[in-house]
Structure formats: structure tokens, C-alpha cells
């Protein structure tokens, strides 16, 4: 075996060798002083043993040619390359710094901001290389130098190749790269483009954030198989302070299919820039704040605490109530007690008074909802929200104003003048009522009163229609969500039954008429979420952000929706793929036919130069192959088409069955439930004091 001589102190290719920096796979690297340029450089020499094969020499010189094309601050600069005294060399810029591999070995995983800035620089260098049609194919921490100026630089273009190169140095079926950072297509020895570098960037980002390889194993083959078949580990499970956006960037960079990754390095740099300020990465901060309200604290300390109110909604205390002294203790007397006098009869009459207020509130909200239905029905054209305002604005505005006044009157009776839940239900009821009136399937020219009676007739006829199943599912979900946190066990059981009933109705609605087999995975997910929601509904007595029956049952309903819609979207996507493939094939046939005709025409035309000699015919360029759109794009189109058709189907059936009007009146009833809850809480508080 040939041994490499000690070159320290010698002059090689115009450079005085100072010291040996390291030994790589292709040879040795030395620090040297370039006397003509008067600057420190690196001299890389191909080892004598590898220089015996021409293929290794071609690899080595190709690195020099590839890197010499590139002029970028994030890529090492090549000054010279060639052969001297039987040794092949490359002279490149010298960077005072360490590789990312060494930095992680010394410091451990890097902070998110530092790691993101480094990878942004690497991606900018790769964007430049890819713009010159150069693919690196061996991006890894050991091939990224970070100088004292904190600027990362890509080195070692030994495996790089130009997309336009005709001569391929890799043999058929030969893998190139480093197993820990190798893309699946490299592991399969398939066609490689710039997206393989992006996969390696994702693996490198993973490594410097966690100090671990994305996939590890006992051999390179085992690691490569994991890159090809195993899902990417979640970095947030390895290191909890990594933000979710970084995890998403890594997952997309390391997608198994190149078409599902970022398509250019510039896209990833733009993604990083969303999370970087002018001073670097901005660490997320907590939104939690603690406030101390002295008046409330003093009152809580001074007065005995009342039992919990039935509602979670509460208004600020009135100024007259603040810092109020506690009531005097009751006097205990022996013997017969006189009948209660004073305000006690008023409190006993309060229940009757509240009942009358509740009835009045119900009448006002239902009447107001009816006014909004008539306002929507005042248009000349059914199915148009703008028709009432265009064709009959006076009637529409008058009825809408009457509905607003009735709702304002109902609001005036509330103990708490503004609560979020009540406001939501009231506004939603008004909007749904107007929309339901506008969509009543009435004959052309019908007047407002006729449309109102028609709405009642259609509503009664379709009260139990299958078209309104989804409406009842919504009713049950909202009603259960309103009452699920009550302490009464009977109310809790009714709430859980309502949740399960609404989920069953959702299943029946989307299953009806479905020509596809539902996805079992989504069915299992829906069942699991429903079981968790059931447990939360039974055990939880107050709002919880995580173990929340409202959110869990909402997710279960969405799972039921996805179970039937996803297969239909896949069917539409497959149909689109076949149609696009056929269209592309037809376009390619026409292009090829036109190309052949153009070639024959060019060959038939003989041109001569000034001396009368025939010229070579100028043949046209062969047309590029027309390729069908990517599956992901077709899938998005199919999803939009299906959701649009589904929304039209739902709104159409609800309009024809007066289902939208059902929704409006139910929302009005939910507003009344909020009102009743407030009245009960206010009555108990007066009794307590």
C-alpha cells in the first residue's frame, strides 16, 4: 500500500504546507499559505491508493469542477485544481472554524435559533448550487463548516454532479451519500435531483437540534431501510422546547416522496424567515398573566363565600356592592318563632316574577326570530340573500328593525347585560332566520305573508325528514355542550345521551346514499374519541382545556365526516388522474407528430452557402414531454370540488325542508336557556343575602 509522504514545510502548487488538518475519504487536507495571494488556504490531496483508479480521479476532479462553478458566501471557494508531481490536488479557501459534527459533539444539541440560522445559510448556498444545476448529494454535519464569523459553508462536493452532465460516474444501482442523511431515492439508487439535498438538510437539522440521527441501526443497510420505510420521528418528543413549526419543517423536508417535500431551497428559507426577527429567532413566550383585583380580594376575604353559581358567566360587581360589609350573624332564639316578616314575601314572589320574565323573554326572542324570517322572505327571488334588499328594501328593513328591537327588549331583561354565549346564540339565530326566509322554495311572485305560511307548512311536513338529520345532530351537540358541566347526575346522563345521539345522527346522515366503503381507521378514531368524550362528560364538573367533552365529541363528529368523505375524494382524484394522464398522452402524441413533420420539412429544404455548398439542415428542437399534474395537486382540486358539492347539497336540502329555519328557532331557544340560567343564579344570590 502506498503511503502519503509528510508534506509539512514543503511548497506544493505554489502553497507552503503548514500543517495537516485531517484525513477524509478521498485523501488528506492541509492548511497552507498561498504565497501569490498572500492568504491561508486549504490543500486537498487525493490519496495515492485511490489515484490508481481513473474513476476515483474523475470523482476527485469533478468535485473541483462542480465547486469552481459556484461563487457564494455559504460555499467554500475553489482557487485552483489539477495535478502536480503525480498528485491530484484542489486548493480552496481556508475557514477558521469547526464542522457542525464537531460543534454538536462539543456543545450538544444547538439552540433552535442558532440551528435555524445555520441551516438557513446552508439552504441559501444550496439554492445557488441548484441554480447552477449542481446537486451536492452528501449534505451532512461533517460537510458544513461554521467559521468564527458564524457563517456556515458547504464543503466536500466529491459526490456532487451536474444535472446536465452526460457522463455518469456512478454505476447502475450504486448508492452514493452517507446513510444517516441519505434520501430514500438515493437509498434505492433511483433518480436523484435537488430535492435529495433538501431531505439531507432535514436530517441534518434534526441532528443538530437533538444530537441524534433521525434513523439509527447496526449497519448502513438497516439505516437506509429505515429512511425508505419508517416515518420520521417527532423531534418534539425528543426535545420538548422545539417549536411545532420546526417539527413541521423537518417532516416536510424528510417526506419519503420528493414531490411531497419543499420543491426548492428558497421555499425552506422563506419558511424559516417567518419565524426569525431582525435579531434572530424569537423564542415563544407564554401568554399567561396573573391579575390581582383588590376590591374582589377584599370582598372574598371579608364575606362568606356563596355556593357556586349555575353559570360560568359572570358580570363585574356593581360599584355599590364593592367592599360591602358581611351580613350580621342570625340571632338564635328558643321557643316558638314568629312568622317571617319584611322582605321574605318579596323573595317568595320572586319565583313567579322570574317565570313571567322567562315567558316574556321567550315570546320576544321567538317573535324577533319570526321577523327576521319574514325579512328574508320579502325578496322577489328565492335563494338570494340580496334579493330582499334589492327588490323590497322598505319591507326588509322594517321587519329586520322590528326583529332587532324585539331582541334588544329581550336583552334589556337580562341580569347580565352582555355575555358571550347569549350574544352568539342571538346573532346566529337572527342570521339563520334571515337566510332561512330567503331560501324558502316559494313560487315566483309570492308575497311575504304567503312565504311565511309556506315556511311553517314545509317545516311541519319535514320535521322528521332525513334531510334534517344533520340539524338534529347539531341540536343535540349544542344542548349537551350547554349542560354537560352541571353537577346534577341526571343532567349529566342526559347530556352524554345527547352527545351519543348526535354522533349517531351524524353517522346516519353521511352514510345515507354513500357508494363507498367507509374507512375503518376513521371509524376506530371516532369510537375512541367518543369513549374519551363520554368519560370526560361523566367526570368533569368544570371546563377543562384538554380533557374536554365538547372538543372530544366535536372531534368524533369530524372523524365520522372524514370516514365517508375521504374515500369519495380518493375516487374523484383517481378519475382526475386517469383523465389528466389521457390528456397528457394525447398532447405528447400530437407534439411528436408535429415534430416529425417539422423535421421532414427541414430535411426537405436544402440551403446553400455563398460558395454554393449545401448547408446542414437546421432541425427543430424536440418538444418537451407533457406530464400530468402531480397527485397532490389533483387531490386538492378533488377535495375542493367535493366540499363545494357537499355544501351545496346540504344547503339545498336544508332550504327545501326549512331546516335553516329550524336551526334559527333552536338557536333562539339556546339564548333563552342562557337567560334562564342567569335568572336562576340571580335568584339564588338574592336568597343567600
Question: 605-650: per-residue pLDDT in tens?
Answer: 777 777 777 777 777 888 888 888 888 888 888 888 888 887 777 7
pLDDT band at 253, cuts 50/70/90? very high
pLDDT attached to residue 516: 59
pLDDT attached to residue 104: 93
CA distance 495 to 539: 12
pLDDT at 110 over 90: yes
pTM: 0.41
pLDDT band at 326, cuts 50/70/90? very low
How many CA atoms within 13 Å lie on the side-chain side of 161?
Answer: 18
pLDDT digits (tens, 9 = 90+) for 542-553: 777 778 888 888
Ranking 79-83, 332-336, 630-634, 683-687 by mean pLDDT, the lowest is: 332-336
pLDDT digits (tens, 9 = 90+) for 512-545: 655 556 677 887 888 888 888 888 888 887 777 7
Topology annotation, domain 11-93: Phosphorylase Kinase; domain 1 (3.30.200)
By the 8 A CB rule, do 536 and 463 touch? no
CA distance 565 to 680: 44
pLDDT digits (tens, 9 = 90+) for 4-55: 667 777 888 888 888 888 776 677 888 898 888 788 888 888 888 888 888 7
pLDDT digits (tens, 9 = 90+) for 339-374: 444 444 444 455 667 788 888 889 999 999 989 988
* Long-range contacts, 566-574 (Cβ 8 Å, 24+): 566/519, 566/522, 567/516, 567/517, 567/518, 567/519, 568/514, 568/516, 568/642, 569/635, 569/638, 569/639, 569/642, 570/635, 570/638, 571/516, 572/638, 572/641, 572/642, 573/631, 573/634, 573/635, 573/638
CA distance 181 to 139: 7
CA distance 369 to 393: 19
What is the enclosing helix (H) or strand (E) of 39? strand 39-46
Question: How many angstroms from the chain centroid is the CA of residue 459?
Answer: 40
pLDDT band at 109, cuts 50/70/90? very high
Contacts of 492 (CB under 8 A, 6+ apart): 484, 486, 537, 538
Q: What is the mean pLDDT of residues 89-113?
A: 89
b/e map of 649-671 (b: 16 or more CB within 10 Å)?
A: eeeebbbebbbbbbbbbbbbbbb
**Domain positions in the chain:** 11-93, 97-165+174-281, 347-463+657-689
Alpha-helical (H) ranges within 138-259 are: 184-187, 194-210, 220-229, 235-238, 244-253
The percentage of residues in the chain with a pLDDT greater than 70, rounded to a whole number, is 79
pLDDT band at 657, cuts 50/70/90? low
pLDDT attached to residue 355: 80
pLDDT at 244 over 70: yes
Residue that wins the pLDDT comparison between 236 and 615: 236
Strand segments, DSSP code E, in 478-602 are: none
- Cα angle 237, 242, 245 (rounded to 5 degrees) comes to 105
On whether the 97-165+174-281 domain is CATH 3.30.70.580, my answer is no
pLDDT at 685 over 90: no
CA distance 205 to 118: 9
pLDDT at 688 over 50: no
pLDDT digits (tens, 9 = 90+) for 148-183: 888 999 887 754 444 344 333 333 334 445 789 988
Mean pLDDT, the chain, whole residue set: 78
Q: What is the mean pLDDT of residues 371-382?
A: 84
pLDDT at 444 over 90: no
pLDDT attached to residue 158: 52
Q: What is the mean pLDDT of residues 100-104?
A: 91
648: buried, middle or exposed (CB in 10 Å: 19+, 13-18, 0-12)? exposed
pLDDT digits (tens, 9 = 90+) for 482-499: 778 777 788 888 888 888
Amino acid at each position: 500500500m502506498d503511503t502519503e509522504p509528510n508534506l509539512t514545510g514543503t511548497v506544493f502548487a505554489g502553497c507552503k504546507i503548514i500543517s495537516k488538518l485531517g484525513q477524509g475519504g478521498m485523501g488528506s487536507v492541509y492548511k497552507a499559505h498561498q504565497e501569490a495571494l498572500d492568504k491561508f488556504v486549504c490543500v486537498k490531496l487525493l490519496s495515492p491508493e485511490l489515484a490508481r483508479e481513473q474513476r476515483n480521479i474523475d470523482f476527485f476532479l469533478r468535485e473541483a469542477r462542480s465547486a469552481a462553478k459556484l461563487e457564494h458566501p455559504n460555499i467554500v471557494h475553489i482557487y485552483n485544481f489539477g495535478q502536480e508531481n503525480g498528485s491530484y490536488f484542489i486548493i480552496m479557501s481556508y475557514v477558521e472554524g469547526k464542522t457542525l459534527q464537531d460543534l454538536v459533539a462539543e456543545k450538544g444539541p444547538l439552540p433552535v435559533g442558532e440551528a435555524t440560522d445555520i441551516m438557513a445559510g446552508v439552504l441559501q448556498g444550496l439554492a445557488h448550487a441548484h441554480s447552477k444545476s449542481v446537486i451536492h448529494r452528501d449534505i451532512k454535519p461533517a460537510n458544513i463548516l461554521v467559521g468564527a464569523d458564524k457563517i456556515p459553508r458547504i464543503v466536500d462536493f466529491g459526490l456532487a454532479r451536474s444535472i446536465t452532465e452526460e457522463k455518469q460516474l456512478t454505476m447502475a444501482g450504486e448508492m452514493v451519500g452517507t446513510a444517516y442523511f441519505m434520501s430514500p431515492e438515493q437509498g434505492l439508487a433511483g433518480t436523484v435531483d435537488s430535492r435529495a439535498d433538501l431531505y439531507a438538510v432535514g436530517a441534518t437539522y434534526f441532528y443538530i437540534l437533538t444530537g441524534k440521527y433521525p434513523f439509527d441501526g447496526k449497519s448502513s443497510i438497516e439505516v437506509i431501510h429505515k429512511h425508505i420505510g419508517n416515518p420520521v420521528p417527532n423531534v418534539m418528543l425528543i426535545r420538548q422546547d422545539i417549536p411545532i413549526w420546526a417539527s413541521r419543517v423537518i417532516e416536510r423536508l424528510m417526506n419519503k416522496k420528493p414531490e411531497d417535500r419543499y420543491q426548492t431551497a428558497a421555499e425552506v428559507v422563506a419558511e424559516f424567515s417567518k419565524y426569525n426577527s431582525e435579531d434572530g429567532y424569537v423564542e415563544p413566550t407564554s401568554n399567561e398573566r396573573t391579575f390581582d383585583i383588590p376590591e374582589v380580594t377584599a370582598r372574598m376575604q371579608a364575606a362568606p363565600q356563596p355556593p357556586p353559581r349555575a353559570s360560568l358567566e359572570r358580570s363585574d360587581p356593581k360599584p355599590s356592592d364593592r367592599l360591602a360589609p358581611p351580613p350580621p350573624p342570625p340571632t338564635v332564639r328558643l321557643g316558638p318563632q314568629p312568622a317571617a316578616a319584611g322582605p321574605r314575601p318579596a323573595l317568595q314572589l320572586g319565583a313567579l316574577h322570574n317565570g313571567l320574565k322567562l315567558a316574556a323573554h321567550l315570546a320576544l326572542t321567538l317573535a324577533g326570530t319570526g321577523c327576521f324570517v319574514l325579512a328574508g322572505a320579502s325578496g322577489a327571488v328565492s335563494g338570494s340573500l340580496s334579493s330582499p334588499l334589492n327588490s323590497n328594501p322598505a319591507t326588509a328593513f322594517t321587519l329586520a328593525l322590528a326583529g332587532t328591537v324585539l331582541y334588544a327588549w329581550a336583552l334589556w331583561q337580562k341580569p347580565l347585560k352582555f355575555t358571550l354565549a347569549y350574544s352568539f346564540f342571538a346573532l346566529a339565530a337572527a342570521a339563520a332566520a334571515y337566510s332561512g326566509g330567503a331560501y324558502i322554495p316559494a313560487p315566483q311572485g309570492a308575497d311575504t305573508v304567503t312565504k311565511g305560511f309556506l315556511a311553517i307548512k314545509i317545516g311541519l311536513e319535514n320535521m322528521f325528514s332525513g334531510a334534517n338529520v344533520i340539524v338534529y345532530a347539531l341540536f343535540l351537540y349544542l344542548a349537551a355542550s350547554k349542560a354537560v358541566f352541571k353537577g346534577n347526575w341526571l343532567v349529566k346522563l342526559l347530556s352524554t345521551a345527547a352527545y351519543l345521539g348526535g354522533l349517531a345522527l351524524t353517522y346516519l346522515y353521511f352514510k345515507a346514499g354513500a357508494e363507498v366503503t367507509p374507512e375503518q381507521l376513521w371509524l376506530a378514531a371516532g369510537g375512541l374519541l367518543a369513549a374519551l368524550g363520554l368519560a370526560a362528560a361523566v367526570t368533569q364538573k368544570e371546563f377543562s382545556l384538554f380533557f374536554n367533552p365538547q372538543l372530544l365529541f366535536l372531534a368524533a363528529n369530524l372523524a365520522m365526516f372524514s370516514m365517508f368523505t375521504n374515500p369519495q375524494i380518493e375516487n374523484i382524484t383517481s378519475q382526475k388522474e386517469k383523465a389528466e394522464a389521457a390528456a397528457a398522452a394525447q398532447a405528447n402524441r400530437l407534439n411528436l407528430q408535429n415534430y416529425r413533420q417539422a423535421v421532414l420539412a427541414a430535411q426537405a429544404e436544402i440551403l446553400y452557402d455563398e460558395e454554393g455548398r449545401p448547408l446542414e439542415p437546421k432541425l427543430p428542437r424536440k418538444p418537451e414531454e407533457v406530464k400530468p399534474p402531480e397527485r397532490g395537486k389533483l387531490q386538492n382540486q378533488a377535495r375542493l370540488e367535493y366540499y363545494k358539492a357537499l355544501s351545496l347539497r346540504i344547503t339545498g336540502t336544508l332550504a327545501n325542508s326549512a331546516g335553516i329555519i329550524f336551526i334559527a328557532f333552536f338557536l333562539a331557544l339556546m339564548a333563552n336557556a342562557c337567560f334562564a340560567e342567569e335568572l336562576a343564579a340571580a335568584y339564588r344570590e338574592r336568597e343567600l343575602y
